[in-house]
Amino acid sequence: MDVLDLARLQFAVTGSLHFLFVALTLGLAPLVAIMNTRYVRTGNPEHERMTRFWGQIYVTNYALGIVTGLVMEFQFGMSWSGLSHYAGDVFGAPLAIETLVAFFLESTFLGLWIFGWHRLPKRLHLACIWLVTLTAYASAFWIMVANSFLQNPAGATVQGDRLALTDFGALLGNPTLVMALPHVLSAGLLTAGCVVMGASAYQLFRRTAERAFFTTSLRIGVVTAFVGGFLTVGFGYAQFGFVETAQPDKWSANTLAGIGLGSMQTIGETLQLITFLLLACVKWLPRWRWAQPVLMLLTPLPFIALVLGWIAREEGRQPWLIYGKLTVADALTPGLTAGQIMLSFLAFVGVLGMLAVVDYLLIARLIRRGPALIALGEQPVLTLSASRL
């Protein structure tokens, strides 16, 4: 491979790995918020346990996902300085807003939620997790604004040898953003639903002592996966017209983008059909032991579809990095050697691969352990001196 191909492969692999963390985070956040709301409204301790258990999995995935995002940021400066020079004033604006506003607020509210158990008033504590969800969605919005600009450079004009932002409203109303954002958010719900469904099926198959807990969780997972799948497929098809107007040849059947799109559609439509059938029998599903291994096998399918969708969206605009304005070759940092790219490729992919493995091993461990021992939200132990007061 030459330098350009290595740099592209590096970004593709690291971007795909990071996207898997992001999608699960976007899907689990509203689920945990809804569980927390049920607890605050009813005071039922079982709802509290459910919030803490699935919240612990959410926090684990979020924490490791942060590091993968930092690796992505490094690559813009190291490998793609041509992009920063030519369009940094436009492309960098939504990324800066995402980092300085959405991400910092999300992290702050999440910290308050994690450490606010039994310290903050219940309703204020509940507000924190809903604010986490809203800021997570805001973060996704700004990232998709930046990505949609690469697909269709709306709101910018050429001034000298650079692009300048001339219409912020056009940037935010980019046609390639309108349906793509809800498509991504819905895919997150589908992913989270399948994870909750598969994890609950695993515990039920093991004949867990927490049968009532995972029966409820399984039903929540099925409903979430159905809603997410229905919306994902719907918004996926809805964006075709917008994308094909901006990039008429994006998804030719014999290209990598076309193959990725077709494979993603097959998985999405299959999951939509299966979750519809599961929804119809959700009342009896937890008792059907034969069905539980099938539910476990469904868990990785949304993750595969996510990577295929990423490939279809990004590969389809090649050889352009900014469609019609800047090629990938021109965006590459001058003077890079194959050895330098290979070294950073091995380092980045090694770190991200390790984090992905650690993430899923930790989540698997938490699922196997079940809700008997949950560190998140544990009632603080009174000290001896405090107990004497």
Per-residue pLDDT reduced to its tens digit, 276-306: 999 999 999 999 999 999 999 999 999 999 9
- The C-alpha atoms of residue 282 and residue 94 are separated, in whole angstroms, by 42
Nearest to 79 by CA among 338, 360, 336: 336
> Pick from 80, 6, 71: which is nearest to 338 by CA?
6
Beta strand spans in 100-169 (E)? 156-159, 162-165
Cis check: omega of the bond before 302, within 30 degrees of 0: no
**Burial letters for 25-42: b for 16+ Cβ neighbours within 10 Å, e otherwise?**
bbbbbbbbbbbbbbbbee
Q: Tens digits of per-residue pLDDT, 305-330?
A: 999 999 888 888 889 999 999 999 99
Per-residue pLDDT tens over the stretch 367-386: 999 998 888 888 766 543 44
User: Taking the alpha carbons of 271, 277, 280, 283 in that order, is the dihedral positive or negative?
Assistant: negative
Report for 13-22, 72-81, 276-285: range of highest mean pLDDT: 276-285
Give the side-chain half-sphere CA count within 13 A for 166. 10
On average, the pLDDT of the chain sits at: 90
Assessment of whether the complete model's pTM goes beyond 0.85: yes
Confidence of residue 71 (pLDDT cuts 50, 70, 90): confident
| pLDDT for the residue 387 | 43
Give me the pLDDT at residue 255, please. Answer: 80
How far apart CA 2 and CA 48 sit, in angstroms, is 54
How many Å apart are CA 380 and CA 274, to the nearest integer?
A: 43
Is residue 365 scored above 50 in pLDDT? Answer: yes
pLDDT tens sequence across 112-137: 999 999 999 999 999 999 999 999 99
Q: What share of the chain is helix, strand, coil (3-state, %, to 5)?
A: 80, 5, 20
Which tokens in the block code for residue 29? Answer: 């956040």
Binned at pLDDT 50, 70 and 90, residue 70 comes out as confident
What is the per-residue pLDDT for 299? 95
d(CA 12, CA 236): 21
Classify 326 as helix, strand or coil.
strand
Are 94 and 142 in contact by the 8 Å Cβ rule? The answer is yes
Question: Does residue 349 surpass a pLDDT of 50?
Answer: yes
Contacts of residue 229, defined as CB under 8 A and 6 or more positions apart, other chains included, come to 190, 193, 268, 271, 272, 275
Cβ proximity of 11 and 331 under 8 Å: no
- Percent of the chain whose predicted confidence (pLDDT) is above 70: 97
Mean pLDDT throughout 261-289?
94
Which residue shows structure tokens 């029998």? 281
Question: How high is the pLDDT of residue 386?
Answer: 45
Looking at residue 184, its pLDDT comes to 96
User: Phi and psi at residue 173, in whole multiples of 5°?
Assistant: -100, 25
Residue 382: its pLDDT value, please? 52
Give the chain's length.
389
Taking only the tens place, the pLDDT of each residue in 226-247 is 999 999 999 999 998 888 888 8
For 185-222, write each residue's pLDDT tens digit.
Answer: 999 999 999 999 999 999 999 998 899 999 999 999 99
Instruction: Report which of 131, 71, 70, 65 is spatially closest to residue 101, judged by C-alpha positions.
Output: 131
Judge whether 267 and 233 are in contact, CB under 8 Å: no
Lowest mean pLDDT among 64-68, 105-109, 299-303, 355-359: 64-68
pLDDT (0 to 100) of residue 381: 60
CB 264 within 8 Å of CB 315? no
Instruction: Report the alpha-carbon distance of residue 163 to residue 91 in Å, rounded.
Output: 9
**Predicted local distance difference test score (pLDDT) of residue 144:** 95
CA distance 136 to 269: 27
